[in-house]
Amino acid sequence: MKTIFQHIKGDKTIWAIVAVLAIFSFMPVYSASTNLVYVVGSGSTLGHLVKHIVLLIMGFAIIYGVHKVPYRYFSGGSVLMLPVVIVLLIFTLAQGTTIGGANASRWIRIGGIGFQTSTLAGLVLMVYVARYLAKNKEKVINFKESLWQLWLPVAAVLILILPANFSTTAIIFVMILMVTFIGGYPIKYIAFILGAGIVALSIFVLIAKAFPDAMPNRVQTWQSRIESFAEEGGKEAYQVEKAKIAIATGGTFGVGPGKSVQKNFLPQSTSDFIFAIIVEEYGLVGGFLIVSIYFLLLFRIFVVVKKTTTIFGTLLVLGVGFPIIFQATINMAVATNLFPVTGQTLPLISSGGTSIWMTCFALGMILSVSASKEETEEDILDDNPLDILHETID
């Protein structure tokens, strides 16, 4: 054990939080997978658990590998990766795939494994925005220049994500606005960008309604989710109703591990609505524990930020750390009917490879920053992105 701790760097509390969430997820995923086995007819409960454990082990490997990389490389890496994710998003949107008989144009398959490209794109975009803000921190922002250097890449990525995944688009956009505000980007320009985003979304909805064959069911799905949240009825209302029954059944201490009843009726019980199953089986105490762990993670993110010596490091930690907490909050808010159904998973607890891996990649970046020695902004931002390729080849 002592040997293991010698090889891991960075904030030890964050390492502990990741381990606790991962280990805790075993039983809820194993329990909730009965819906996939007996209702959907997919595999076995043990098979789903083993798959989840393997994905988490791979996730820990990603954290370990990424946290060993000096975080200054992420700055240039974002510039190299941005064209790659744009190509991947175009390819994903063009071909998509079908999962469980439903349209899933946000996924592609690489080597037989489903991969959600929007999650990777969001991570790369946050690092790119952090790089831009850090490079221009001491300069007077020229709005026209920033439109080309910052907002054009942001718009390109978000436009490609939007048709298949509105909730992820909205989360990324909100997180980017938050980071730009923290990074000192002028508020009047942020307000303009926000207004432009709303107008662009409105135009997209009008076009989608005018030409429904071009993007079948997407706008209707958003509309039905919002209507189901405001009223009763519909598939989303059924999901939320079962989630509320699960939470109410749990009481203070829950019905016990593996004894959930609503997991047999609740679609997406291993992913989107796993928090409801956790509360049913572990009660209010279990639910409060999960919320507290995410709050502790948020606190440790702020601790890392306070100790960071560069602007890029600060914005990087906030840019990749806040979305994890925000996603967890939305997932739990959906399960408790405080927010419309979005399809966002509970980080490190819900099943799903892409979500786990990208969360682990983000955590690896945070740990890389927390493990770094004092560096200057010039050491980080003056790196030519091609230097990463050269050093990798050498």
Sequence-ordered list of residues with C-beta below 8 angstroms from that of 350, at least 6 positions apart, any chain: 25, 29, 270, 271, 272, 274, 331
pLDDT of residue 110: 62
DSSP notation for 241-254 = HHHHHHHHHHTTT-
pLDDT of residue 384: 55
Residue 241 has a CB neighbour count (10 Å cut-off) of 16
Q: What is the pLDDT of residues 330-349, one digit of tens each?
A: 999 988 888 888 778 899 99
pLDDT of residue 175: 94
d(CA 135, CA 377): 8
Q: What is the pLDDT of residues 205-225, one digit of tens each?
A: 888 777 666 655 555 666 666
Could you say which DSSP state residue 234 is in?
S
Q: What average pLDDT score do residues 78-82 get?
A: 93
Q: Which residue has the higher pLDDT, 44 or 12?
A: 12
Whether the CB-CB separation of 80 and 54 falls below 8 Å is answered with no
d(CA 282, CA 247): 10
Q: Is the pLDDT of residue 161 over 50?
A: yes
With H, G, I as helix, E, B as strand and everything else as coil, classify residue 33: coil
Whether the CB-CB separation of 279 and 246 falls below 8 Å is answered with yes
Sequence-ordered list of residues with C-beta below 8 angstroms from that of 52, at least 6 positions apart, any chain: 25, 26, 29, 30, 351
Instruction: Look at 41-55, 108-122, 346-360 and tell me which has the smallest mean pLDDT.
Output: 108-122
∠43-46-48 over CA atoms, to 5°? 55
pLDDT of residue 100: 43
Q: Is the pLDDT of residue 230 over 60?
A: no
Give the DSSP H or E segment for 92.
helix 72-95
d(CA 300, CA 176): 21
Among 135, 171, 196, 183, smallest CA distance to 324 is for: 171
d(CA 93, CA 253): 44
Q: What is the pLDDT of residues 167-207, one digit of tens each?
A: 889 899 999 999 999 999 999 999 999 999 999 988 888 88
Residue 264 has a CB neighbour count (10 Å cut-off) of 13
Residue 93 has a CB neighbour count (10 Å cut-off) of 20
- The radius of gyration computed from the CA coordinates of the chain, to the nearest angstrom, equals 21
d(CA 120, CA 108): 12
Whether the CB-CB separation of 164 and 218 falls below 8 Å is answered with yes
∠389-85-21 over CA atoms, to 5°? 95
| Contacts of range 196-199, beta carbons closer than 8 Å, 24 or more positions apart | 197/173
What percentage of the chain carries pLDDT values higher than 90? 47
DSSP notation for 279-335 = HHHHHHHHHHHHHHHHHHHHHHHHHHHHH--SHHHHHHHHHHHHHHHHHHHHHHHHH
pLDDT of residue 4: 61
pLDDT of residue 26: 92
Q: Which residue has the higher pLDDT, 177 or 101?
A: 177
